[in-house]
Amino acid sequence: MEYRDNLPFDILHIVRLLNIQIKRKIGMSMYVNCPFCKGKKGEPDNNGHMNIKLDRDVWRCNRCGRGGGKLALYAEFYGIDNKEAYKQLVSDIVPPEQKAVKPKQVYARQVDKTASPEVQNLVYSELLKVLKLAAVHREALKARGLSDEAIDKAGYRSVPIVGSELITQRLIKKGLRVEHVPGFYLDKGNWDLYLPGSGILIPVRNRLGMIQGFQVRLDQAVTSKYIWLSSNDLSKGTPTQSSLHIVGPVKPVMFFTEGYLKADIAHHLSGYSFIANGGVTQLMRVPDLLQELKRFGLRKIMVAYDMDKTVNENVMDQLRKLHAILEDAELAYADFDWDWNLENAKKGIDDCFFLGLRKKI
């Protein structure tokens, strides 16, 4: 039986926009993983308990009991009311044959034209005021150990699925210039915001707390779970400048780890201040940052790389390079280790503090 994928309000189309995995189809009915329920043990639905009736545009989860129509599904996922859900849907979801296809032409990078840190922070801060955090994303962050207060303070938001041009125009009407700000680009004469897919926007901040970019934790990764919000290779777009993330005040002893969200969680659970990069291979900005932090009192670094460094040669190689950088910076350092379970892969510093694993210096 043919599904009504081409209707602007078809619930199957909404499900696909929300990236909810389709488990199986039965005539005009289908089962998908429910994004809302956690079960008695607090575990997410991986067995397709949500039933969607395509002929009636209604849904219900047989596990948690949530249900309703198409607007309720969209609104609950993004934590908005039905009125706002309707506004977003009618303004941006149109049949595929009517939807404008954005050009795939590749443009030259504009590395030398990135906006100043002050301008980026101003634009990104206003962007956070426009966006919301979906209830399902808030619950996922809380499950990793963050409190509501910590989530709000960090400024996490959900990547919008629709309305990117409307969001951009709201920023411009406030007098902001989005040109040369990573993530924004020119589309048919109008500035737009690149949307990489549903996920969580993670603000990356410098020593002063200024937002220098966003990393996106995708709900469903294609090649990588974490990507940068960037408009690289788009018309008048700007690539991101992989920044280091500072969480907490500069102290004589600070931790260094890979992963921005991981650092946020570990800081919240432990109270220690953290320096984080986007991955163990991004070390070229570290020397300059260390010299800056030394002027404000930094004296020692506790290196808290994931514990799979004991079995991952690539991580060990990057660890040796970081040690060399710390020695050149004339900073004391030590590796921060803890017990971990290879089978369960509880290997990050956030896991260490969240699970109360025994640790040693």
Range of the domain at 177: 111-228
Q: Among 65, 92, 119, identify where a domain stops.
A: 92
Which CATH number covers residue 313?
3.40.1360
Residue 6: the pLDDT is 38
| 258, part of any domain | yes
| 239, part of any domain | no
| 97, part of any domain | no
Which CATH number covers residue 127?
3.90.980.10
pTM of the predicted protein model: 0.72
Q: Of 53-57, 296-300, 308-312, where does the model show the most confidence?
A: 296-300
| 105, part of any domain | no
Share of the chain above pLDDT 70, in %: 83
Mean pLDDT of the chain: 82
Cα 4 to chain centroid distance, Å, stands at 31
Residues 6+ apart with CB under 8 A from 149: none
Cα 286 to chain centroid distance, Å, stands at 22
Both tokens assigned to 350: 């956030």
CA distance 207 to 292: 9
Cα 272 to chain centroid distance, Å, stands at 22
Determine contact, residues 270/353, Cβ cutoff 8 Å.
yes
For residue range 214-235, what is the model confidence (pLDDT) as tens digits?
Answer: 999 998 776 788 989 999 889 9
Both tokens assigned to 221: 């990764």
Same domain, 40 and 127: no
CA distance 182 to 124: 10
| 238, part of any domain | no
Beta bridge partners of 334: 302
Residue 61 has pLDDT above 60, yes or no: yes
| 169, part of any domain | yes
CA distance 168 to 175: 11
Q: Among 36, 65, 92, identify where a domain stops.
A: 92
Residue 103: the pLDDT is 42
Same domain, 207 and 308: no
Q: Among 171, 195, 228, identify where a domain stops.
A: 228
Residue 56 has pLDDT above 50, yes or no: yes
Domains in the chain, number: 3
Span 269-296, mean pLDDT?
A: 89
Same domain, 144 and 202: yes
CA distance 309 to 325: 18
| 106, part of any domain | no
pLDDT band at 310 (very low <50, low <70, confident <90, very high): confident
Per-residue DSSP letter, 308: G
Q: Of 13-22, 109-118, 331-340, where does the model show the most confidence?
A: 331-340
| 270, part of any domain | yes
Same domain, 181 and 211: yes
Share of the chain above pLDDT 90, in %: 43
Span 70-82, mean pLDDT?
A: 79
Same domain, 126 and 198: yes
Q: Residue 79: which region, alpha, beta or left (left: phi > 0; alpha: psi -120 to 50)?
A: left
